[in-house]
Every structure is written in C-alpha cells, then in structure tokens.
Structure 1
C-alpha cells in the first residue's frame, strides 16, 4: 500500500453575489462579479482519515443569512465518513466557515495553532471588525475540547501524521495554518485562507479580511515553498479548483492528490 495520501476537496456552499472588491485589496476591476466556493477537505490513507476543517451548518447559515447547499456531514457521506468515527480534525483557523461544524464530530481531537486560540479568546475580539468572522459558540466548542484533553496545539510547524504537516501562516487570522500533504502528485499544500484564490498567491494580491498584512504577504511565499509546484497549491475558496481537478463521483467531491487535469496558465 502506498504511504501517500488521497486528498479530496468537498464543496458544501457557494456565494455568487460578490465582486472583486470582496476578494482583493487595491483591485482596478473592483466591481466585477467574483464568486466564492466553500470547501472542507478529507485526507485518506487506507483506514486512516483526517478531516481538515468542518465548514458551517444550517444553524450558522440562518444566523448569517448565508445558505449552504449541503450540510458538511451530509456532503461527506459519499466517502463513507461517519462523523462519529472521525478522530482527528485539523482546524486551519476558527472562523465560522472553517470551524462552524466541530460539534458534529463529537469524538474528534483538534489540531490548532496556539496563536489562533489566543487570538480568538483575547483582547482583539473587542473590535467588531476583527470579531466578525468568528462565532462565540464555535470558539467555545474548541475550548470544551481543550478542557476534555482533545486539543493538540502547534506553535509554527508541526506534524499531525506521517506525511501530513501544518505550518502557521497568519495574516488572515492570527493563527491560520496551511496543511502540507504527501501525495502521488508531490507535496500538496492546502492553503485554506492563506490564499482564498489562486490570484491571491500567484499575483501577490492580498485578501481584504486581514489582521496582519505583512504575514499575509510573506505567507504567499511560504505556500510556494511548501508545495512541489504552484499547481499543487489549493486555495481555500476558488471555484477554479473544480475546473482544474476532476470530480470523484458526485460533483461536489473533487480529487486533488493525482494533480490537476490541466496546469494553471
């Protein structure tokens, strides 16, 4: 059996009523439409399954008036993943669309950057503009896992499993981490929100929701170093992922570990 991992992107929501001003700072074409997809990711090697982020559920969708197409738990069903059996979740950061479903995986331990927990529970949350992407209930769920001994903290780079490492990027959120995975195609980097879109990382264009712009800009270079090639950097929200990589069964499940069917121009 290969020691490499299978990697799947699971699309559970999208937002089409957006413009480029919502995606890029200092963009000349700011009023042009610019859609966004929402993903979680699955790493699988034989019987081993790691979940990267949890998305958000119907309750959060109603709270924020941002509908989802599939509850992430339902979206995982074609891969045979029972939420009760998930034992490990890599939480890239605690924003609602990445940590909003932790409660649906009651037996999972969380891999999280210490800087992210400190940020989401610290004085920065006194500022409404910084607090907006977080939901208190999601952060409290992570704290409950901490007090039950089920949070593994990382401070910078760390190993989650053989062939799977995490790397603190920051920028978009204080403790945002990317995930590097060894695959048949090479070292693949799940950027999460270190690059919402290919354009962020390849053209060095910052995303507007940012706590530290220097960290964000430096993070684009880090993503290039972590992946074997730019084609193996997987942005966190880019609909282009579904065009470059093949579907695996249902159209909302995208296979990443064999590489793209065509290269980026």
Structure 2
C-alpha cells in the first residue's frame, strides 16, 4: 500500500510589484503593465511516520535586504505546526535562492537533499555573477557547504525517492537544479512546483519568470509538469494558492492551507 501524506502550505511573506518585474520580456506579449502581488511559501509533508520540510523561507536578513514583508517568522510557523527542528527532519532544497534556504540554520541536524546541478552551480565559478548572485545570500550558501562537510548533504542527478512515495525531480530552468516534489495524499497526488512555476498563469500561458538560468529548460519544464499525473498543483509564489485548498486554523489561520487528511 502506498504511503499517504498531508501537505501543509505556509505563506510567510509577501510583496507588491508589477507584471513586467515577474514575467520575462513582458512587453513582447503586447499587454499593458499592471500591479501584481507575490507571496512567499514553504511546505511541510508529513504522516504518522515522518515529517519532511520542503524549503525554509527567507531569513530576516534576506528579506530585509530586498524589502520583503514578513507575515510570520518561519521559525514561529514551524513551531506552530509542531515541527521538531531538533529531531533533524529531512529538508528538501528545491533551489538555493534566498527565499528558499534562508533558515537552514534552524535545521542544523537535518539531512538536506538538493539536485547536484544546483549545489555545483552555487559553489562553482559563475555563482558570483551579478545577474545570478543577487538572488542568494553568501552566508546561506555557506550553510549548504557546511552541510556537505558534515555529511548531511545528499545530491541527486535527475530524480530521487526521499521517502515512500515522495519524489524529488530536477527540472532546471529557473536555476540549474530547480526541483519539484510530488506527494501522494488522500486527496490525490500533490505536485509542489516551487519556482518551476511561480504563478498559475505562468504555466497556463507559457510565460517564463524573469529570473531564468536556461529558458529552453524552463519551457520544457512546463511541458513536463503538464504531462505529469498530478491532481493538485501548488505554485511557488501565486497569491491565489491558499484559496485553492483547505484553510488552516489556529495560529496559522489565513496563512496556511492543507491538502489531504491529517496524520
């Protein structure tokens, strides 16, 4: 019998911007510019046997450096969800941008899983180039290096099964090792797209995000996601995301939603 999990989506930050700031070469679509919001999420996958953390949000420093609005400190959100950080739950790093690895230091005992292409890029010779480096914090990349030195970093090439039924797949595009996660739940298969798809519109209209390492890989990633047998798509930054799923209550009311039955 396939393991079943519950997925929790946590919105911890937000910002207001314009469409030309999020869609690559927006002027080519012949549409007027306009306002658009961007929300920031991390995800928790769990059942009675295990808890898996998918990304860790931006740090206070990373958010402040980019004038992002913090709605709840990620540490407080993890605590509200009962995530025992000291127990070293496995952490998936979908990619190494500041808003996805900003709190790895909260998980100093955790094994980290990241695509080899992602780790190799951000510890390689081109990571300091301005158009790429502006999306990372050096101290947070160092957390990845530290995990590697401590033997806590697991890399994979194309795909890995992290736990029974939980698959991590590299698509590339947004970053060299941009990955997605698929999770079986009682409500069907959930695809955590992370930043392979920032907005639902991005996938529906094949409109790449402005930050892209390989445009062809990004388009190919859209096609792979469309072809995958998933029942629920969870985008990486769309403000519409929480409204598509079951709202959470308690301390995270208005900031979280769930898919699948509880543990």
TM-score above 0.5:
yes
Q: Structure 1, unaligned stretches of length 5 or more?
A: 259-265
**Alpha-carbon distance in structure 2 between the residues aligned to 1:124 and 1:227:** 36
Q: Is the CA contact 1:227–1:233 (under 8 Å) kept in the aligned structure 2? A: no
Residue number in structure 1 paired with 2:212: 210
Please give the residue correspondences for 1:10-89 in structure 2 after superposition, counting only pairs within 5 Å: 10-16=10-16, 18-25=17-24, 26=26, 27-89=29-91
- Mapped to 1, the partners of 2:6 and 2:115 lie a distance apart of 24
Instruction: Name the CA distance, whole Å, in 2 between partners of 1:103 and 1:111.
Output: 15
Paired with 1:126 and 1:33, the residues of 2 have a C-alpha distance of 31
Contact kept? 1:187, 1:226, Cα under 8 Å: no
8 Å Cα contact 1:10-1:40 kept in structure 2: yes
What is the aligned length? 255
SS at match of 1:194: coil
The verdict on how the C-alpha distance between 1:106 and 1:30 changes in structure 2, with shifts beyond 3 A counting, is farther
Matching residue within 155, 158, 161 for 2:157: 155
Aligned to 2:255: 252
Structure 2 contact 173–216 (Cα < 8 Å) conserved: yes
Q: Alignment partner of 2:76: what SS?
A: helix
CA contact (8 A) 1:224 1:233 kept: no
User: Aligned residue for 1:8?
Assistant: 8
- Is the 8 Å Cα contact of residues 189 and 227 (structure 1) preserved in structure 2? no
Partner residue in 1 for 2:129: 127
Correspondence for 2:196: 194
TM, length-normalised to structure 1 = 0.91
Counterpart-to-counterpart distance in 2, 1:44 and 1:225: 26
CA distance in 2, matches of 1:222, 1:215: 10
Structure 2: which 5+ runs fail to align?
Answer: none
Task: Report the secondary structure of 2:121's partner residue.
Answer: helix
Residues of 1 paired with 2:229 and 2:240: CA distance?
Answer: 18
Cα distance in 2 for partners of 1:55, 1:24 equals 22
Q: Counterparts of 1:148 and 1:214 in 2: how far apart (Å)? A: 35
Q: Is 1:224 the equivalent of 2:223?
A: no
Give the drift of 1:24.
Answer: 1.4
Find the aligned partners of 1:28 and 1:86 in 2 and give their Cα distance. 49
CA shift in 2, pair 1:79/1:99, >3 Å: same
Q: Bigger relative contact order, structure 1 or 2, given CA contacts below 8 A and separation 6+? A: 2
Name the counterpart of 1:263.
Answer: none
Question: 3-state SS of the aligned residue for 1:201?
Answer: helix
After TM superposition, the structure 1 stretch with the greater mean CA deviation from structure 2, 76-85 or 170-179, is 76-85
Provide Cα deviations, 1:81-117, integer angstroms capped at 9, x if missing partner.
Answer: 1322242000000000001110011111100000001
**Alpha-carbon deviation of 1:242?**
1.6
Q: Is the aligned partner of 1:98 residue 2:109?
A: no
Q: CA deviation at 1:257?
A: 3.2
Q: How many angstroms apart in 1 are the aligned matches of 2:240 and 2:116?
A: 32
